[in-house]
């Protein structure tokens, strides 16, 4: 597809199998056995049960790949404030090699279980998230069930954000 190394494949670290330290070790070993072309594509994402942001960052330090920050997972499997986690994850991306940091955004489905992703974007929650992230620049992947509908609402809303306005200005 002739994509450069800023095109990423996001994965979770995986299971814990009763021993997190050993599982991390195995993850690192397997990673080192991969071809370089694949290693440069991978990013790890904090999940909502097993590996939080701090644990992903520890792994990231060992194998030099970025951590993709999932906001909703962080709210469930917490390791500090959103702002702090965002800053640490953003630093794990090398702009030249990895491109602009990417994050996953969604919120809880109020009618579902606490791990259930929302059907539609909650603009109040999105507004609070944007307010906590003002000093960072990143791409947002929406993990929301009604997809384009929420994406259009999010873009319309984010048009008030200077970072988005600057992006559009940079296109012409």
Chain positions contacting Mn ion, by CB under 5 A: 70, 104
Give the nearer residue to Mn ion in terms of CB position, either 98 or 104: 104
Give the nearer residue to Mn ion in terms of CB position, either 70 or 98: 70
| Cβ-proximal residue to Mn ion, closest one | 104
Give the nearer residue to Mn ion in terms of CB position, either 21 or 138: 138
CB of 104 to Mn ion, least distance (A): 3
DSSP 133-145: TTT---EEEE--T
Please calculate the CA angle 24-28-31 and round it to the nearest 5 degrees.
Answer: 135
Rounded Cα distance between 116 and 136, Å, is 27
CB of 96 to Mn ion, least distance (A): 25
φ, ψ of residue 131 in degrees (nearest 5): -65, -30
CB of 160 to Mn ion, least distance (A): 25
User: Within its chain, how far is the Cα of 52 from the centroid?
Assistant: 12
Helices (H), the chain: 20-32, 36-39, 53-63, 71-76, 82-91, 95-98, 123-131, 148-158, 162-171
CB of 45 to Mn ion, least distance (A): 5
Rounded Cα distance between 78 and 39, Å, is 27
Nearest alpha carbon to residue 119 among 107, 129, 127: 107
Give the nearer residue to Mn ion in terms of CB position, either 24 or 56: 56
Give the nearer residue to Mn ion in terms of CB position, either 21 or 55: 55
CB of 55 to Mn ion, least distance (A): 16
């Amino acid at each position: 597809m002739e994509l450069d190394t800023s095109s990423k494949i996001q994965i979770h670290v995986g299971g814990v199998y009763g021993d997190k330290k050993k599982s991390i070790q195995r993850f690192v070993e397997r990673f080192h056995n991969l071809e370089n072309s694949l290693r440069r594509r991978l990013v790890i994402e904090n999940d909502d049960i097993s590996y939080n942001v701090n644990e992903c960052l520890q792994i990231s330090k060992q194998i030099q790949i970025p951590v993709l920050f999932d906001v909703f997972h962080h709210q469930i499997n917490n390791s500090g404030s959103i702002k702090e986690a965002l800053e640490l994850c953003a630093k794990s991306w090398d702009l030249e090699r990895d491109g602009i940091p990417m994050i996953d955004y969604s919120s809880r489905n109020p009618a579902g279980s606490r791990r259930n992703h929302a059907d539609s974007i909650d603009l109040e929650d999105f507004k609070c998230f944007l307010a906590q992230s003002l000093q960072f620049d990143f791409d947002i992947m929406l993990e929301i069930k009604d997809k384009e509908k929420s994406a259009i609402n999010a873009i319309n809303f984010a048009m008030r954000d200077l970072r988005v306005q600057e992006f559009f200005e940079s296109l012409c």
